[in-house]
């Protein structure tokens, strides 16, 4: 009997996930800030059940943007993207929760807004890819790199989410 209970507990423990284990970087680009969409975008992530652990409104320095988008440096649109992102304030955020990187991308919608489903941020608020109002990390490793670029460790808040028991099993 004890062996059976330990076996069941072991399987249960392996299937449990730590909702704090994953963080993603989401930035509202200058077009989203200028259009007054910060609150609506935050609301989508909050309603899903994700926890905001950092956020700041800032004019991103060109050097930061060049580093952030360095994987696109060989693309013809790179210089225009960096210039655009430096053209106005950006609202940078870190969100935390179970599968937040992949789910965050789904909440944002496809990079090209015309390919985004209604109900996604880009599907509801955008038309052109060059004005797709948000950036979202595309992988856990990318998120870690981007968070480190945009935020100092002491800017990341670690706290127990009051609604955790109502969101996670």
Q: Tell me, what's the pLDDT at 21?
A: 76
Question: What is the largest distance, in Å, between two alpha-carbon atoms of the chain?
Answer: 66
Proportion of the chain above pLDDT 70, given as a percent: 88
Total-model pTM: 0.86
Proportion of the chain above pLDDT 90, given as a percent: 84
Residue 1: pLDDT over 80: no
Q: Tell me, what's the pLDDT at 161?
A: 85
Q: Which of these CATH numbers, 3.30.470.10, 2.60.40.2250, 3.90.1570.10, 3.30.70.141, describes 17-153? A: 3.30.70.141
Residue 41: pLDDT over 60: yes
Which residues are tagged catalytic? 135
**Rounded to whole angstroms, how far apart are CA atoms 146 and 169?**
29
Q: Enumerate the known binding-site residues.
A: 29, 77, 105, 111, 122, 132
Q: Enumerate the known binding-site residues for ATP.
A: 29, 77, 105, 111, 122, 132
Domain ranges of the chain: 17-153
pLDDT digits (tens, 9 = 90+) for 87-102: 999 999 999 999 999 9
**Rounded to whole angstroms, how far apart are CA atoms 118 and 109?**
9
């Amino acid at each position: 009997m004890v062996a059976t209970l330990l076996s069941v507990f072991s399987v249960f423990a392996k299937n449990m996930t730590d909702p704090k284990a994953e963080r993603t970087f989401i930035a509202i680009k200058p077009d989203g800030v200028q259009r007054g969409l910060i609150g609506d975008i935050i609301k989508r992530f909050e309603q899903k059940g994700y926890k905001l652990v950092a956020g700041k409104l800032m004019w991103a320095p060109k050097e930061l943007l060049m580093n952030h988008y360095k994987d696109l440096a060989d693309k013809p649109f790179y210089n225009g993207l960096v210039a655009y992102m430096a053209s106005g304030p950006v609202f940078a955020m870190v969100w935390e929760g179970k599968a937040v990187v992949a789910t965050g991308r789904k909440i944002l919608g496809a990079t090209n807004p015309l390919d985004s489903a209604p109900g996604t941020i880009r599907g509801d608020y955008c038309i052109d890819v060059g004005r797709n109002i948000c950036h979202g990390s595309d992988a856990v490793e990318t998120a870690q790199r981007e968070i480190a670029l945009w935020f100092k460790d002491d800017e990341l808040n670690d706290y127990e989410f009051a609604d955790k028991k109502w969101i996670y099993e």
